[in-house]
Amino acid sequence: MCLYLIFNLIIVPPIAKGFGREALPWFSAEVAPRNWFYPLAFRNYADPELKAVLFESAKTSGLKITYLDANFPFFNGFPLLPHLSHNDGRKIDLSFMYLDNKGQATTDKPSRSGYGVYVQKRSQSSKNCLDQGFWQYDFTKYLTFGTNDDLEFDKNGTRDLIQSLLSKSQTQSIFIEPYLEQQLQLNKAYRIRFHGCRAVRHDDHIHLQIK
């Protein structure tokens, strides 16, 4: 374990710099992982521009940003499975915002992994994709590794987070499910897209990519 941590914390980061990637922090008041799996498994690397977008968005919104899968430290084109597109340091998954059982904003999230707890159990797009045979579309429901059912989706907080991401010129696109785009009244934002049925559901997290 000790050797692994030396590798993780001391050896890999400078090599990753040569590949144009920086590690996102393990702890920080602005940007932090959902859990330690992400940095421990080297899934927390991002282009410095993406890192800057995250920190600036946290500042603009006043929210703590929770990241899930980002990218591996090396080699463009080497995907972070199962996310085929997370292969160039310019993509990352982020958690939505939630309220606790007293209706107060919290940094806690309903899924231990960060994936698989959907805002609505059923949605038209997931039904369409599953009906078309894209069986993987809601597979993330098996990957929560435990849930906290006391939390409620925070519409305002999540909208603030997405708007702060959209306020950065480097933001190229954000994927969320179409019904959430409507619910959050973001439907005029041209950079918000539907990702198609070959991906997985995006009503449990935000996918952000920069230019």
> Minimal distance in Å, beta carbon 11 to Zn ion?
27
Segment interacting with Zn ion (CB under 5 A) among 85-93, 108-116, 143-151, 190-198: 85-93
One character per residue 120-149, x = contact with Zn ion (rule: CB under 5 A): ------------------------------
> Minimal distance in Å, beta carbon 207 to Zn ion?
3
> Minimal distance in Å, beta carbon 87 to Zn ion?
11
> Minimal distance in Å, beta carbon 37 to Zn ion?
16
What span, in angstroms and rounded, lies between the C-alpha atoms of 61 and 157? Answer: 9
Q: Which is nearer to Zn ion, 28 or 173 (CB)?
A: 173
What span, in angstroms and rounded, lies between the C-alpha atoms of 66 and 203? Answer: 15
Rule CB under 5 A: say whether 207 interacts with Zn ion. yes
> Minimal distance in Å, beta carbon 10 to Zn ion?
28
Q: Which is nearer to Zn ion, 186 or 206 (CB)?
A: 206
Residue type, 39: P
Q: Which is nearer to Zn ion, 34 or 207 (CB)?
A: 207
What span, in angstroms and rounded, lies between the C-alpha atoms of 15 and 28? Answer: 23
Q: Which of 93, 154, 160, 204 binds Zn ion (CB under 5 A)?
A: 93
Q: Which is nearer to Zn ion, 21 or 207 (CB)?
A: 207
Q: How many residues appear in the chain?
A: 211
The helix (H) or strand (E) run that includes residue 207 is: strand 205-210
How many angstroms separate the Cα of 81 from the Cα of each of 86, 150, 201?
8, 30, 16
> Minimal distance in Å, beta carbon 150 to Zn ion?
26
Q: 63-87 burial, b for 16+ CB within 10 Å, e for fewer?
A: bbbbbbbbbbbbeeeeebeebeebb
CB 42 within 8 A of CB 8: yes
Segment interacting with Zn ion (CB under 5 A) among 40-48, 51-59, 90-98, 146-154: 90-98
> Could you tell me the end-to-end alpha-carbon distance of the chain, in angstroms, rounded to an integer?
37
Positions that interact with Zn ion (CB under 5 A): 83, 93, 207
